[in-house]
Amino acid sequence: MGFGGSDEGYRRPSGRVTSSKIVIAGGFGVGKTTLVGSVSEITPLTTEAIMTSASASVDDLAGVPGKSTTTVAMDFGRITIDQDLILYLFGTPGQTRFWFMWDELVRGAIGAIVLVDTRRLADCFAAVDFFEHRGLPYLVAVNCFDGVQLHQLEDVREALAVGAQVPVIPCDARSRESTKQVLITLVEYVLKMRRGAVAPSR
Amino acid sequence: MNDPDEPSNALVRPYAVTRGRTRPRVEIAIEALVETTARGRDASVVGGREQQLIAGLCALRVQSLAEIAARMQMPLGVARVLVADMAADGLVAVYEPTAVGDDAVGTELLERVLSGLRRL
Q: Is residue B114 part of a domain?
A: yes
Residue B4 lies in a domain: no
A21 touches chain B (CB under 8 A): yes
pLDDT given for residue A148 in this prediction: 67
- Interval B47-69 mean pLDDT: 95
Q: Could you give the number of structural domains in chain B?
A: 1
Residues 74-93 of chain B whose Cβ lies under 8 A from any Cβ of chain A: 75-77, 86-88, 90-93
Q: Which domain holds residue B96?
A: 12-119
pLDDT, one tens digit per residue, over A123-152 is 889 899 999 999 999 999 999 866 667 778
Contact A39/B at CB under 8 A = yes
Q: Is residue B60 part of a domain?
A: yes
Q: Which of B38, B92, B95 sits opposite A15 (nearest CB)?
A: B95
pLDDT at A172 over 90: yes
Three-class DSSP category at A202: coil
Predicted confidence at residue A151, as pLDDT, reads: 74
> What pTM was computed for the model?
0.85
How many Å apart are CA A115 and CA A139, to the nearest integer?
A: 9
Pairing outcome for strands A85-91 and A138-143: unpaired
| Whether complex ipTM tops 0.85 | yes
The verdict on B35 touching A (C-beta cutoff 8 Å) is yes
Please name each of the domains of chain A with its CATH number.
21-194 (3.40.50.300)
Distance from CA of A149 to the nearest CA of B (A): 26
Q: What is the arrangement of strands in the sheet containing A168-171, beginning at the earlier edge strand?
A: A45-52, A69-82, A85-91, A18-26, A111-116, A138-143, A168-171
What digits encode the pLDDT tens for the residues B64-82?
A: 999 999 999 999 999 999 9
> Is residue B7 over pLDDT 50?
no
> Is residue A3 very low, low, confident or very high in pLDDT (cuts 50, 70, 90)?
very low
- The alpha-carbon gap from A78 to the nearest alpha carbon of chain B, in Å, equals 9
